[in-house]
Structure formats: structure tokens, C-alpha cells
Amino acid sequence: MTDKYAVIGNPIAHSKSPQIHRMFAEQTGQDISYEAILAPLDGFAATVERLRKEGYKGCNVTVPFKFEAFKIADSIGFEVMDAVESGHEADAVNTLVFQKNKIGGYNTDGAGLVNDIAKNFKIPLKDKRILLIGAGGAAAGVLHPLLEASQSPLVIYNRTLRKAESLKKTISQHEKFRHFSIKPVEFGKLGNEQFDIVINATSAGLTDSEIPLPPNIFAPGALAYDMMYGRETPFMKFAREHGARAVDGLGMLVEQAAETFYIWCRVRPETAPVIAALRKQP
């Protein structure tokens, strides 16, 4: 019998997730269906309930429901999986698994980002100086896998300082991350520090907005990673013009989907051919 999955968001029409999961299913021979579902802004929990009643096995969750997904999950990362961190520290969840009487929640965004940088771009994160721009759901989801992989101090740079501070507070409450140096900095207040990896986890690219960055922010050979994909953002343009290697977040999207696919189907798909196929699309 076909196992039913979906991605829930608002908006959702742009989502590439159905295509990615169909490619994974074809590649691995898994019998699954995967569709995009638009939930009303006040109707996330009701949509999840409907899917459960209709026999779906799980779903992905995207903007703006990732924090709500955390709240409705009965358990977070209830099984320990290779390379998949629980969403607990992030308080944002992008993957739900429907079991008989409970909902399990995971966040695979962080593993997706770390895999894309380390495996696809072949850049080890250990000891790298990282600047994480943004303090929303995406930044929250990747923060702890980044710290675990880099084992080094990290700066959170956000338009609204309070949100960067609150992200630091949330993560610092966890024993595992207490000893890390995390510095929240407001837009316009970066000093002369240089970074090896600068990650744009804001949605500024959606409106072609510039991120205020000092021109010497990129260390020699730095990677500038924009989580947005599909077009060059002002951040990527700035990074290229200032000597960094600028890349988009398409690989992260495919890698996080692969982690989710593994949680659901217990099969690890090949990501490279899927990334290559998506890159060829207009």
C-alpha cells in the first residue's frame, strides 16, 4: 500500500519538496505519495489532524508553521538516528512522523545545511569562524548542528537584536551548548572580525534587500551560503564581489529532504543526482 506524506505551509505552491521526494522514491523503489498542502494561517493543527485521520504517515512543515509543529509534537527526536538531530534545542520542527497515538518531531534543516557544506562543497566545518545571519526559524534550526560541527565561537547577526539574544538564550539553556561562545550582534554593529563561513538565514533575499555587511567580512577562501535558492540574492552578489565563494541553499533543501526521507522510509537516497536535476530546471 502506498504510504502518504505531504508538506504543509502557507504559501506552498512554490515548494520543490514534492518533486524531490518523488525523485527519492523512484530512485529507492519506495511506494510513497507526497503532495503540497496549503493550510490556513490559523489552521495548521487542524490540517495535521485531518491528515492523521486520513492515514498519512507523516509530513514536512514549512514557513510559517515550524514553531507550531514543535508545539504539537508529543516527542522530539524520539529515536536516535545517524546525523539527524532532534529539534528540541531549536524549538522549530520541519518533519513530523505520525504514529498510532503520538506525533514525533524532528528538525532536519541543520543536518541538511551541514551535509551540504561538508559533503557537497567539501568544506570541513571544524574550527571555522561562522557568522550566522538571521534569528528566525531557519537560523534556530541550524544553530546547534553548526555548533556541534564547528566546535568554535559563533556570531548571530540579526536586524532585531532581541531575537538574536533570545536564540542565544534558548540554546545556552542546554548543557551541551553552555560552553560555546555565541555572540548576538545587531545589524550595523559588526567590527573588523573576519569569518570563514557566512550563512544568510534571513528572508531578506525574498525582497532583494541588502544585508549591511563590512566589505572585509570574508576571510580568504570564505564561503558565503544563502539558504535561499533559485536566484542570486544581493547577499550572494556582495559576497562574490568581495572575494567569497557564493552558493545558494538548493543543496540544503535536498539534503534536509534526504534526512527526512531516511526518518520516514529508513532508506538513504542519493542526493547528488537530485540536486543536479533541479539545477538543470529553469
Nearer to ligand NDP, 49 or 208 (CB): 208
237 vs 176: CA distance, rounded Å: 36
Asked if residues 106 and 94 have their Cβ atoms less than 8 Å apart, the reply is yes
Q: Does 224 bind ligand NDP (CB under 6 A)?
A: no
186-191 contact pairs (CB < 8 A, 24+): 186/157, 186/158, 186/159, 186/160, 186/161, 187/157, 187/158, 187/159, 187/211, 187/212, 188/212, 190/131, 190/155, 190/157, 190/214, 190/217
Q: Of the candidates 129, 163, 242, 268, which one interacts with ligand NDP according to CB under 6 A?
A: 163
Judged by CB under 6 A, the chain residues 108 through 127 that form the site for ligand NDP are: 109, 112
State in angstroms the smallest separation of the CB of 32 from ligand NDP: 20
Q: Does 228 bind ligand NDP (CB under 6 A)?
A: yes
Using CB positions, name the residue nearest to ligand NDP: 136
Which grid coordinates are listed for 32? 510513497
Catalytic residue, chosen from 16, 53, 57, 66, is 66
**Amino acid (one-letter) located at 71:** K
Binding-residue pattern over the window 232 to 271 for ligand NDP, x denoting contact by CB under 6 A: -----------------x--xx--x---------------
For Cα atoms 6, 226, 15, give the angle at the middle one, nearest 5 degrees.
20
Catalytic residue status for 66: yes
Dist. CA 175–CA 181, nearest whole Å = 13
User: Is residue 138 at the binding interface for ligand NDP, with CB under 6 A as the rule?
Assistant: yes
> Smallest distance, Å, CB 256 to ligand NDP?
5
Nearer to ligand NDP, 27 or 209 (CB): 209
- Taking 3-state DSSP, the helix, strand and coil percentages for the chain, each rounded to the nearest 5, stand at 40, 20, 40
Q: Which residues bind ligand NDP (CB under 6 A)?
A: 63, 109, 112, 134-139, 158-160, 163, 201-204, 206-207, 209, 227-229, 249, 252-253, 256
Catalytic positions are 66
